[in-house]
Structure 1
Amino acid sequence: MPKTYPMTAEGKEKLEAELKNLKLVKRPEVIERIKVARSYGDLSENSEYDAAKDEQSAVEQRIAQVEQMLKYADVVDADSVDPNEVSVGKTVTYTEVGEDDPETYTIVGSDESDPLNGKISNDSPIAQALLGKHKGDTVTIATPGGSFDVVINEVKA
């Protein structure tokens, strides 16, 4: 069975927009750069041609990756899950035991993650520990830097 890609509806929309941009904008730009570089003559010592071919490879790989993710997308409807249960698409606030400052993260699919903006991947150690837990639960989170306990204060869709 192929791997599924959990994501929010917003994340799927962003991937669809990225795929459209890659196919309709980036791909033609790179093809044009290759044509121009070919016109310079000898391809064996043509760095512009080599760079354009490398970029073409990267664009085609990303197109294939995004198409795969969209084909096997598992769009999670956070509203269909118990309102107090942590799941993909929900925002969870917790406080580390012995600390006062709460932390808030939205759990999203791996391609949507943006930790600096409070979006963590469902594959991250923190999200893995929190998924399926409920408001009020004490959870042990094991990270490469060590383990710590948190209390889930709030879960919202």
Structure 2
Amino acid sequence: MSATRPPMTQKGADRLRDELEYLKRVKRPEIVAAVAEARAHGDLKENAEYHAAREMHGFNEGRINELEAALSNSEVIDTERLTVGSRIVFGAIVELVDLDSEAEVTYQIVGDLEADIKQNLIAVSSPIARALIGKNEGDEFDFTAPNGVKTYEIKSVRYR
């Protein structure tokens, strides 16, 4: 029995590949140089610069491993090619209206690793995304938010 591969948008995969390239080609050599310089300062037991550089190296290598695993295990989905009409699936850009306050918000449903609420990118596994999946433009739904139940209308659904 094979597990399903987590989805990721093409844009998210490209962003993670760019970060991976930066960590390998720029950050890794900088850290190696910092470790070598700190090592040259002598006694490693009491050399805070050396220990800080080694710790930075560990964090960087850990992030490189995380990105490589995510990119190799994910199923990259080109959301521009989806033909699902106004039904909400992974990759949808959804404009919502809070029916109580009339406030509008737009989210894109993306993979877990590419989610960034500051950019209105919500993880497919998040409660709001799970509430949206399968619904259509024009639908209304209730969502239990931390500050109580909210009723939303789905104003528009698009893919790009």
- Calculate the TM-score normalised by the size of structure 2: 0.89
Number of the residue aligned with 1:6: 7
Q: 1:77 deviation in Å?
A: 3.1
CA–CA separation in structure 1 for the residues paired with 2:126 and 2:137: 20
Deviations 1:75-101 (A, max 9, x none): 123332412111222210111233322
Give the stretch that moved more between structures: 117-126 or 65-74.
Answer: 117-126
Secondary structure, aligned partner of 1:44: coil
Aligned partner of residue 14 in structure 1, secondary structure: helix
Partner of 2:119: 117
Q: Is the 8 A contact 1:112 1:119 kept in 2?
A: yes
Contact 1:81 1:87 in 2 (8 A): no
| Residues 39-74 of structure 1, C-alpha deviations (whole Å, 9 max, x = no match) | 000000000000001000000100110011001111
Which residue does the alignment assign to 2:76?
75
Secondary structure at 2:149 match in 1? strand
CA RMSD after TM alignment: 1.7
> How far does residue 122 in structure 1 lie from its aligned partner after superposition?
1.8
Amino acid at match of 2:33: E
Distance 1:156 1:97 in 2: 21
2:63 is aligned to: 62
- In the alignment, the residues of structure 2 paired with residue 11 and residue 126 of structure 1 have an alpha-carbon distance, to the nearest angstrom, of 20
Name the counterpart of 1:38: 39
2:32–2:57 Cα contact (<8 Å) kept: yes
Listed as ranges, the gaps of 5+ residues in structure 2 are none
Structure 1 residue runs of 4 or more that deviate by more than 4 Å after TM superposition: none
Corresponding letter in the other structure for 1:46: N
Bigger shift: residues 116-125 or 30-39:
116-125
Q: Give percent identity, aligned residues only.
A: 36
> Where does residue 98 of structure 2 map in the other structure?
96
Q: Tell me the amino acid that sits aligned with residue 8 of structure 1.
A: T
One-letter amino acid matched to 2:135: K
Q: Which runs of 5+ in 1 are unaligned?
A: none
d(CA) in 1 for partners of 2:132 and 2:52?
Answer: 44
The answer to whether the 8 A contact 2:100-2:150 is kept is no
Which residue matches 2:128?
A: 126
Aligned residues: 157
